[in-house]
Amino acid sequence: MREQAAFEARTLVRQSNVCVISTISKNLHGYPFGSVSPFMTDNQGRLIFYIAGIAQHSRNLNEDSRMCATVFDAAEEGDQNAHARVTVVGDAAPLPAEESEALLERYERQYPEAISYRQAHDFQLWRMEVKRVRYIGGFGHIFWIEKDEWNAQEPDWTLEDEKRMVEHMNDDHADANQLMLKLIHDVEANEVVMTTIVPDGCYLRAHDKNYYIQFENICMDSKAVRMELVRLTKLARKALNTEATQD
C-alpha cells in the first residue's frame, strides 16, 4: 500500500506544472510565506524551480533553505477535500554550475517562455532535496512518504541522451506525439512537441500547455524508452484506428 501511495503521489507531482511554495520569511522573522511558482521534476523526482533573485521566496531561501511545495488535484465541483494533494518538504539550494545548463535547457523545453528570463532579474535554478512527503489521496488515504521511498533511481541515460531522444521524436515521429496525446489526454493538435523524458514518463506540449504521459514500465536506459514509446504509439494507433509508423 505504501508503494502504491508513493506512486500515486509522484504521478500527481509529475502531472503538475505549478505549485504553492512556502518558505520561511526573512522579512517577517520566521513566519511562513506562500507563493505560487512553476516547477519541473528531475529524473529522481526532486523539484526544480527557476527563481528570480529579486523574488521574496528567493531571498527567504538564501536565509533559510527549508521549504515545502504543495500540488493538488483541483476539484471542478464538489468537495475539494475528497481530492488528492501532495506536500513535498525539503531544503532548496541553487544548482551547481556544472548541472545548471543542461537542466535549464530541459526547463526551457517545458516552459519556452522562460527563455527570455535568462537576461532578466538574475534568474537561477534551485533544486529541492526531499526530506519527507505528505500524501493525501482522499478521505482515509493518508501517508507520510520517506525520502528513500520518494527518490527514484537515476537512469543510465544522461540529459544529453534525453535531448537526442526528444529531438528524434520531434523530427521523425511527430505523428506519434499527436497519437499519444490524443490517446492519453483526448487532445488534438496540429503541432505536438515532446519536451522531456523521465524514467516513468514523458511530456508533450501543445496549445501552450504541458501534458504528462505515464509509462507502463520504468525505463532505466534509452532502449527501454524507445520500447515504451513504440508500445504507446501502437496502442494509440490501434485505439484510434489510424496508421503511423515508428522506427
Is the pLDDT score of 247 beyond 70?
Answer: no
Q: What domain count does the chain have?
A: 2
Is the pLDDT score of 49 beyond 60?
Answer: yes
Mean pLDDT on 211-223: 96
pLDDT band at 245 (very low <50, low <70, confident <90, very high): very low
Domain that holds residue 184: 159-240
Mean pLDDT on 217-232: 96
Residue 187 phi, psi (nearest 5):
-120, 130
- Give the pLDDT confidence of 184-194 residue by residue, as tens digits: 999 999 999 99
pLDDT band at 242 (very low <50, low <70, confident <90, very high): low
Cα–Cα distance list, 128 to 44, 67, 109, 170 (Å): 11, 8, 20, 30
Mean pLDDT on 143-150: 95
Mean pLDDT on 64-71: 96
- What does the pLDDT read at residue 142? 93
Same-domain status, 131 and 169: no
Same-domain status, 23 and 125: yes
- What does the pLDDT read at residue 210? 97
- What does the pLDDT read at residue 118? 80
Distance CA 88, CA 151 (A): 12
* CATH code where residue 215 lies: 3.20.180.10
Residue ending a domain, choose from 150, 168, 201: 150
Distance CA 162, CA 164 (A): 5
Same-domain status, 110 and 191: no
Same-domain status, 175 and 80: no
- Give the pLDDT confidence of 121-137 residue by residue, as tens digits: 689 999 999 999 999 99
Cα–Cα distance list, 74 to 21, 78, 80, 83, 114 (Å): 16, 10, 7, 7, 25
Residue 245 lies in a domain: no
Mean pLDDT on 140-154: 93
* CATH code where residue 73 lies: 2.30.110.10
The chain-wide mean pLDDT, for the chain, equals: 92
Same-domain status, 102 and 167: no
pLDDT band at 244 (very low <50, low <70, confident <90, very high): very low
